[in-house]
Amino acid sequence: MTEPSDSSAAPAHLTGYEVIVGVCGGIAAFKAASLVSQLVQGGAGVTVAMTPSARRFIRPLTFEALTARRVFTSLWDAGGSHDPQHLSLTEAADLLIVAPATANTIARIAHGIADEPVSTLAISATCPILLAPAMNTRMWENPIVQENLRQLKARGIGEVPPGEGWLACRTVGTGRMAEPETIFERAIEILKATAPKHSG
């Protein structure tokens, strides 16, 4: 499990803020653990949702240990409650971060397809949404992916662009997910723009 190297997480003063982190299927999913850890250390309440593919790269138990909360992995498990989780989670959330955001999930959100936890949360969210794309360079440069991102940006969805570096396909190019510290800093900016929904 990757722990954050930046000690600035502790004084971030995110107490009272609720953040959902949506984790999609890609090798960058392991970086989401560091992001979640930084948010928790900053004082935020963090709930993690995972696509089925994400669970092939990292186990829900990792995020449960970091957040001390149950991980949202299915649309069909209400956890002993009759309350639809995707509605209650997004009603309480101050920010939804999707990291890594794969081409598949970006397309689902752009076209209103809600058939797994992360896209369903994004479509039901009224809070700000921040995407951290991660994918192969050819996928990143594909006009379809870029058009989907333009549509989402036009609807007010934020993005932390990917960087250039060594990719899982053993090539060097653009598509590497932004570092957790960079996503965390952007999350602080968004959260601090408004008071927590449930500040008491």
Instruction: Write down the pLDDT at residue 4.
Output: 47
Instruction: Write down the pLDDT at residue 132.
Output: 98
Q: How far apart are CA 194 and CA 149, in angstroms?
A: 25
Residues 7-76+84-192, CATH architecture: 3-Layer(aba) Sandwich (3.40)
Q: How far apart are CA 174 and CA 186, in angstroms?
A: 20
Contact between residue 111 and residue 70 where contact means Cβ atoms under 8 Å apart: no
Q: How far apart are CA 91 and CA 8, in angstroms?
A: 29
pTM of the model: 0.88
DSSP states of 136-187: -HHHHH-HHHHHHHHHHHHTT-EE---EEEE-TTS-EEEEEPPPHHHHHHHH
| Among 169, 173, 174, 197, the one annotated catalytic | 169
Instruction: Write down the pLDDT at residue 70.
Output: 94
Q: How far apart are CA 54 and CA 39, in angstroms?
A: 20
Per-residue model confidence as pLDDT tens for the chain (200 residues): 444 444 444 456 899 999 999 999 999 999 999 999 999 999 999 999 999 999 999 999 999 999 999 999 988 765 555 455 557 788 999 999 999 999 999 999 999 999 999 999 999 999 999 999 999 888 999 999 999 999 999 999 999 999 876 556 566 657 889 999 999 999 999 999 999 987 65
In the sheet that holds 158-159, the strands lie side by side as 45-50, 18-23, 95-101, 129-133, 158-159
Q: How far apart are CA 89 and CA 91, in angstroms?
A: 6
The domains of the chain are located at: 7-76+84-192
CA-to-CA dists, residue 121 to 77, 136, 171, 172, angstroms: 15, 25, 33, 32
Kindly report each contact of residues 156-159 with a partner whose C-beta sits within 8 Å and lies 24 or more positions away, as own/partner.
156/128, 157/109, 157/129, 157/130, 157/131, 158/128, 158/129, 158/130, 158/131, 158/186, 158/190, 159/130, 159/131, 159/132, 159/133
Instruction: Write down the pLDDT at residue 128.
Output: 98
Residue with tokens 């192969």: 136
**Longest distance between any two alpha carbons in the chain, whole Å:** 50
Residue with tokens 């794969």: 102
Active site residue 24: no
